[in-house]
Structure 1
Amino acid sequence: MDAHFLRFYVATSRQLKRLESVSRSPIYSHFSETITGSSVIRAYGRHSAFVLMSDLKVDENQKSYFPGIVSNRWLGVRIEFIGNCIVLFAAVFAVTGKENLNPGLVGLSVSYALQVTMSLNWMVRMTSDLENNIVAVERVKEYSETKTEAPWEVEDKKPPPDWPREGNVHFQDYSVRYREGLDLVLKNLTLSVKGGEKIGIVGRTGAGKSSMTLCLFRILEAAGGEITIDDVKISEIGLHDLRSKLTIIPQEPVLFSGSLRMNLDPFDKCTDEAVWKALTHSHLDKFVSNSPAKLELECAEGGENLSVGQRQLVCLARALLRKTRILVLDEATAAIDLETDDLIQSTIRTQFEDCTVFTIAHRLNTIMDYTRVLVLDKGQVAEFDTPANLLSQKGIFWSMAKDAGLVQ
């Protein structure tokens, strides 16, 4: 009978534990998001909406958590009942026995019956708890089987130390999707970029601009085709060998807790003179010079004690220190005023003159003097030519320039 109760209870409680674990994560995620965006929530007066969302997520979690407790009590009542029945029958048989039993033997049998009850409780409880808590191991197993990134280094496929020398980039029938089962975001992309060319990448929302830059760093792996940099297939080399040779100034600037110098040169490879030179070219030298701590200026978590524009300039200075042959700008000047944007574009043109530059353009006027402009549409190459030729063709780029007020 005990095994029957246990089998029935474990199957039910295990599934309730799974549901409770799955519904618990959204509570923590929503709470974290609410704390992070508390200032925006207050600004828009959305307190009650977020409280309601939190209550709904907690209620959803309690739908499986409370039945789990009830099922636990269900098992406890039945185990106690079975144990008490054992004690009862031991006492009854001792009293109604035909033979005169020794009182000591009767006491021994009853005391052992009580111990059996405790042991039975403990055994059943531990068995059921093991089954329930092994659900956490199931989740760990699921994470351990998740596909990981490619190797950090591939010893027999290491590129030359001075790679890439030219900065030539070639996409050959390249296709990519964000994960298995989803539609392709880039479809059979084929284009060649010579070393030193400045390429502006434009397109409507969802055209695949940012996806293209993610592919260069192999954050997204190819669904088909190849990307070649100076005759080296990037899919064959290690991620460290690839990413250490590319530089990106992201759309959202990334800073870490620590000194400004650590954020600019985390591996301490550059001299203070080189750091100051990078700050000068990124137009941050006056701000840092006026700070008492100079290069040891403490950056808060995420760079919260700096403005968004200053954080973007720090990322530019970091790129100037790395000075790789290929530079990617993912709408890097979107959060900066026009005057500072012009200064940054001037710095990029002078300091990265011999580098291959891919710029996702937020403002079309910043790429009008680029070597060529790539217009993406629905993950495919719609137009790829010099800005002057694209304007004369009066295609997609011309209509975008007209909307921006650059042409009549």
Structure 2
Amino acid sequence: TNPAGRMLNRFSKDMGAMDELLPKSIMDSTQTILTIIGAMVVVMVVQPYFIVPILVLLAILLYARSIYMKTSQNTRRLEGITRSPIFSHIATTLHGLSTIRSFQVQSLLISEFEQHQNVNTGANFMFHSGRFAFGMVLDLIFFVFLAIVVFSFLLMQTDALGDKVGLVVTQITALAGSIQFGIRQSAEMFNHLVAVERLLEYRGLPSEKQPAQDSIALAKVKQWPSSGGIQFKGVNFKYIEEAPLVLRNLCFEIKPKEKIGIVGRTGAGKSSIIGSLFRTALIEGSITIDEVDTAELTLETLRSSISIIPQDPVLFSGTLRKNLDPFDRYSDEVLWRSLELVELKDIAGPLGLQSHVAAGGSNFSVGQRQLLCLARAILRENKILVLDEATANVDPETDRLIQQTIREQFVDCTVLTIAHRLNTIMDYDRVLVMSEGTAVEFGTPRELLEIPNGVFRDIVLATGPAEAENLMNMARKV
């Protein structure tokens, strides 16, 4: 898996290094090479025998560079690796800010941040210490070389002209300085290539497995899915290859237009059913929708044919229109109608569909964000609607509006609801009860409540005597 902090790190800091710092170091290295070539030509014309010590100097500097590069690239990688937990910590802290303040654990989170920051600062200090040490070694080598050049004139050519000596010393000084700068910049160039290396790792990540094109069976029908029938046959599901199965030999059939509630305790595999339906991870077995195997469909076709309202609604920074219809497929009249159906027409304000939506929909309440997702589902007119505990975090009034809209606008659709509030599914056609990745009960709410010591019956009784009695009465009326 790739944590959010690691991705933020690579697509911010590493991307910046590749776009800004790497081109500059490449340009500096190229200019230095041209300067060295020009200076060496001048030295060869005036004193050809100085080429030998210059080449010796170059060899010494390259040797020092090779020693430095062994550690600098590793410390640069270490600095990048230790930076990722900082981004992850900031992202998770911002996401859970209300919880942190509610439990007054700010000092604990600050302490954790300082630990991550100290580790990264240590790695950063090692990298820059290596840079400064390498620069000092280059200065020392250059100083020794320049001293040898000057004393060689005093000892070997006592009759040398001052202008000739000055020209040679000036050119050698410029040449040695250029070599020193070039060696340093070339080392920096290779250090910045670590950022490119880290980005290329993401480029090489394998994409989700899918067929090159949709199955022939899909081409024979005008509209798919046309009715919304779903069938699971021996489905096993896990998130990564090495992980244990989260769904085991799952077999059930959902008829077209049925309203199905999915219940179970935490970790029972409720959300994994939705993941398998959207093919988000590794699946064994067969899942068919209207007699078409989903494994034979491209992910774009499959996922665009199923509407979902998640527990945490997803809204993007932009206009209200772009959030409802990002691909500009619908007219303004259709968009206004969808907003009217979910009673959100008033939130548009004076700008109408061009009203601003902040990142994550932060300028709307949780309930309004859920209703916007519901409006998107109404626009799509898909035959299958999935609600992943969509009303778990909304107030009862918004919950009532969502349930009423679903019952009115999705009459001819198959609806799968992962239920947090059991009263929302007691009038459904059937309820699927999950436990440890398997379907242990599947039937109408009334049938399941009549099973002695049944799992669904226990879940209902756990809500308390008054609420359990209310739920049972709702089931009897269906």
Alpha-carbon displacement from aligned partner over 1:153-202 (angstroms, at most 9, x marks no partner) = 72665544411112111112212222232222222222211111111111
Mapped to 1, the partners of 2:347 and 2:254 lie a distance apart of 37
- Residue number among 181, 186, 196 corresponding to 1:122 in the alignment: 181
The residue aligned with 1:349 is 407
Indicate which of 437, 446, 466 corresponds to 1:388: 446
Task: Answer whether contact 2:239 2:282 (CA < 8 A) is retained.
Answer: no
In the alignment, is residue 51 of structure 1 matched against residue 114 of structure 2? no
290, 304, 325: which one pairs with 2:383? Answer: 325
Q: Determine the C-alpha separation between the residues in 2 that align with 1:282 and 1:59.
A: 50
For 1:139 and 1:64, the matched residues in 2 are separated by 17
Residue 3 of structure 2 corresponds to which residue in structure 1?
Answer: none
- The Cα shift of 1:92 comes to 1.9
Q: Answer yes or no: is 1:363 the counterpart of 2:424.
A: no
Query: How far apart, in 2, do the equivalents of 1:63 and 1:346 lie?
Result: 57
Is the Cα contact below 8 Å between 1:150 and 1:238 reproduced in 2?
A: no
1:167–1:20: structure 2 CA closer, same or farther, 3 Å change rule? same
Query: How many Å separate the matches in 2 of 1:391 and 1:240?
Result: 40
* Code of the aligned partner of 2:370: Q
Distance 2:398 2:161 in 1: 101
Q: TM-score, normalised by structure 1?
A: 0.89
Deviation at 1:389, TM superposition (A): 1.9
How far residue 34 of structure 1 moved from its aligned partner, in angstroms, is: 4.5
1:161-180 aligned within 5 A: 161-180=222-241
Map of 1:147-162 to 2, 5 A cutoff? Answer: 147-150=206-209, 154=213, 159=219, 160-162=221-223
The CA deviation at 1:65 is 1.1
Distance of 1:274 and 1:24 partners within structure 2: 47
In 2: Cα distance, 1:14 partner to 1:317 partner: 51
Deviates further, 120-129 or 26-35: 26-35
Query: Which residue is 1:223 aligned to?
Result: 283
Correspondence for 2:136: 77
Q: After alignment, is 37-46 or 384-393 more displaced?
A: 37-46
Work out the CA distance in 1 between the residues paired with 2:121 and 2:258: 59
**Closer/same/farther in 2, CA of residues 301 and 104 from structure 1, 3 Å limit:** closer
Alignment: residue pair count: 405
- The AA in structure 2 aligned to 1:229 is I
Determine which structure has the larger helix proportion and give its number.
Answer: 2
**C-alpha deviations, 1:41-66, integer Å up to 9, x for none?**
55554443333333222211121111
CA contact (8 A) 1:153 1:239 kept: no
SS of the residue 2:450 aligns to? helix
Separation in structure 1 between the aligned mates of residue 136 and residue 359 of structure 2, nearest angstrom? 52
Q: Any conservation in 2 of the 1:164–1:230 contact (CA below 8 Å)?
A: yes
Shift of 1:266: 3.5
Gaps of 5+ in 1: none
Aligned to 1:252: 312
CA deviation digits over 1:210-268, x for unaligned, max 9? 121122222x1333112111121212212221122111111112233344444333444
2:155 to 93, 96, 101: 96
**C-alpha spacing 1:342/1:48, structure 2 compared with 1 (3 Å):** closer
Counterpart code for 1:338: P
Asked if structure 2 preserves the Cα contact closer than 8 Å seen for 1:90 and 1:109, the reply is: no
Letter of the aligned partner of 1:350 in structure 2? E
Partner of 1:278: 338
Superposition TM-score, scaled by structure 2 size? 0.77
* Aligned match of 1:136: 195
> Which residue of the partner structure matches residue 299 of structure 1?
357
Deviation at 1:100, TM superposition (A): 4.4
Distance 1:344 1:34, change over 3 A: closer
Give the stretch that moved more between structures: 361-370 or 101-110.
101-110
AA aligned opposite 1:174: V
For each residue in 1:118-171, what CA deviation from the matched residue of structure 2 results, as whole angstroms up to 9, or x when unmatched?
133123213322221211121012111112235697266554441111211111
- Opposite residue 312 of structure 1, the aligned amino acid is Q
Rounded to whole Å, the distance in 2 between the matches of 1:254 and 1:323 is 19
Task: Kindly indicate whether residue 390 of structure 2 is the aligned counterpart of residue 314 of structure 1.
Answer: no
